[in-house]
Amino acid sequence: MKKLISLVCLLHFTPIAFASTTVLTADRMVDVEAGKIVKNAVVVIENDKIIAAGQASVTPYAQDAKVIALGDATLMPGLVDMHVHLVGSNMHGYNSLSVSLPRATINGVQNAERTLLAGFTTVRNVGAEGFADVALRDAINDGTVPGPRMFVAGPSLGVTGGHCDDNLLPYEYQHFSEGVADGPWEVRKAVRRNIKYGADVIKFCATGGVLSKGTKVGAQQYTLEEMQSLVSEAHLRGLTVATHAHGTSGIKDAIRAGVDSVEHVSLVDDEGIRLAVKNGTYFSMDIYVTEYILGEGAKAGILEESLAKERIVGKTQREAFTKAVKAGVNMVFGSDAGVYPHGDNPKQFSRMVQFGMSPIQALQAATINAATLLKKQLELGSISPGKLADIVAVAGNPLDDMTKMEQISFVMKGGEIFKAPVAP
């Protein structure tokens, strides 16, 4: 009888002793909160969370832990891209009309994996038809397919004939994008509909764009009144708002209306930069994509009128980026991958440094700043005890050469390893 009792106790208590502990070691780790490198780094992971991180001499771990020694490598928090379109194709202009939504969604599965393996453990997907982004997010979250954590917008909202509409077909086709909404009450209703079907964030188009047919890239599209209505509805429901805006007045009215981030920001003036600093508005500036559009866009079907617009905004946007960084605007990493191939997102890091950021600032833009804009800074964005174990690594030191970010060698998301260097 005595024996039986002790056996029962043993069975009952044994599982508690089996928490799975993984330890990562590397010559360096980027502490994005302090803005510095920690040498001889150790990170202790239990299940999906980081439980300790720091210099080896002050970060003990259990003898029986599984150790992954990365050697001459740099550990960084999982990267966050705040402007992607995973669902879609890399077909542009009239070529894009041949791609069905089911096909674009299947592409999305492949794009999600490529993005994750490039080091992006989180993305904000700013616009997809048919709530295909909601489906992809949910499939990733329940482990059906591999991919980054997704924060999704559903259909982007925009005015009739604007950048977020689809203006390729003539009148008799009566074709509109799902996010078309005009007037303060229609935009409120569109926000409510996007929330109903699973949006985490609201995306709208404040001005014309480069890749849309027939829009003036600098012209404002939503009025201040419409934007105020849209933003107040989203904020009421606890969602943040991202706006596509290249044009000067549209950027400023969007900031006045209270948007959380402005995307592209190509033709911003000094007043727009001052307003952003004052209101804490984030800028997400896709300063790599211009090279792809002007280099390979014509082959991919980009319309000549779009190439002409890009020749103007690409250069201005880079100048604006330099000014915004100098003025101290809150900056996040946003690539617009989808316009160019997914997985090439990290090419933007070296351009961010070329046009005015320190390497640490570029990494902060893609980690802690992005997590803060997502309101997930308690769970994501740095290698800190208590946060989710989203950790990536590169060989060597990327602070010496940001093109190294294009060669992510190790990817862990939520404690699960998706990519690791081949054992020597």
By CB under 6 A, is residue 290 in contact with ligand ARG?
yes
Which range touches ligand ARG (CB under 6 A), out of 47-55, 222-230, 284-292, 387-395? 284-292
Distance of closest approach, residue 80 Cβ to ligand ARG, in angstroms: 19
Report in angstroms the alpha-carbon separations of 166 from 63, 156, 187, 323: 59, 11, 17, 33
Residue number, 27 or 291, with CB nearest to ligand ARG: 291
Q: Is the dihedral of CA 335, 176, 266, 222 positive or negative?
A: negative
Backbone angles phi, psi at 145, to 5 degrees: -135, 150
Select from 186, 179, 148 the least CA-distant residue to 165.
179
Q: Which is nearer to ligand ARG, 333 or 410 (CB)?
A: 333
Q: Which stretch binds ligand ARG (CB under 6 A): 103-111, 205-213, 342-350, 411-419?
A: 205-213
CB of 79 to ligand ARG, least distance (A): 19
Q: If 0-12 CB within 10 Å is exposed, 13-18 middle and 19+ buried, where does residue 337 land?
A: buried
| 157 closest CA partner among 209, 122, 194, 131 | 194
- Residue 295 beta carbon to ligand ARG: minimum distance, rounded to whole angstroms: 12
Smallest gap from residue 309 Cβ to ligand ARG (A): 8
Residue 286 as a binder of ligand ARG (CB under 6 A): the answer is yes
209 binds ligand ARG (CB under 6 A): yes
| The one among 211, 353, 370, 371 contacting ligand ARG by CB under 6 A | 211
Whole-number minimum distance, CB 290 to ligand ARG, in Å? Answer: 4
| Minimum distance of ligand ARG from residue 288's CB (angstroms) | 8
Give the residue, chosen from 210, 242, 245, 393, that forms a contact with ligand ARG under the rule CB under 6 A: 210
**Cβ distance to ligand ARG smaller for residue 133 or 310:** 310
Q: Which is nearer to ligand ARG, 264 or 404 (CB)?
A: 264
Asked if residue 342 lies in contact with residue 277, where contact means CB atoms within 8 angstroms, the answer is no
Query: How far is 74 from 401, CA to CA, in rounded Å?
Result: 12
Q: What residues between 312 and 351 interact with ligand ARG by CB under 6 A?
A: 313-314, 317, 336, 339
Among candidates 202, 22, 222, which has minimal Cα distance to 124?
Answer: 202
The conformation of residue 164, written as its DSSP 8-state character, comes to: T
Q: Between residues 32 and 153, which has the closer beta carbon with respect to ligand ARG?
A: 153
Binding piece for ligand ARG, criterion CB under 6 A, among 37-45, 177-185, 310-318, 415-423:
310-318
Nearer to ligand ARG by Cβ, of 131 and 292: the residue is 292
- Segment contacting ligand ARG (CB under 6 A): 118-126, 196-204, 219-227, 306-314? 306-314
* Shortest Å distance, C-beta 143 to ligand ARG: 31
Q: Smallest distance, Å, CB 29 to ligand ARG?
A: 32
Cβ nearer to ligand ARG, comparing 43 with 206: 206
SS3 for 24? strand
Identify whether the C-beta of residue 387 lies closer than 8 Å to the C-beta of residue 78: no
Q: By CB under 6 A, tell whether 264 contacts ligand ARG.
A: yes
List 310, 320, 382, 392, residue binding ligand ARG (CB under 6 A): 310
Start-to-end Cα distance in the chain: 54
Provide the residue type at 120 as one letter: F
Quick check: 289 binds ligand ARG (CB under 6 A)?
yes
Q: DSSP states of 250-297 as a string?
A: HHHHHHHHT-SEEEE-TT--HHHHHHHHHHT-EEE---SHHHHHHHHT
State the number of binding residues for ligand ARG (CB under 6 A): 14
Residue whose C-alpha is closest to residue 139's, from 112, 104, 102 = 112
C-beta of 306 vs 409, nearer to ligand ARG = 306
Q: At what angle do helices 101-117 and 132-141 cross, to 10 degrees?
A: 40
Q: Report which DSSP code applies to 206.
A: -
> Residue 49: beta bridge partners?
46, 388
User: Interface with ligand ARG by CB under 6 A: which residues?
Assistant: 209-211, 264, 266, 286, 289-290, 310, 313-314, 317, 336, 339
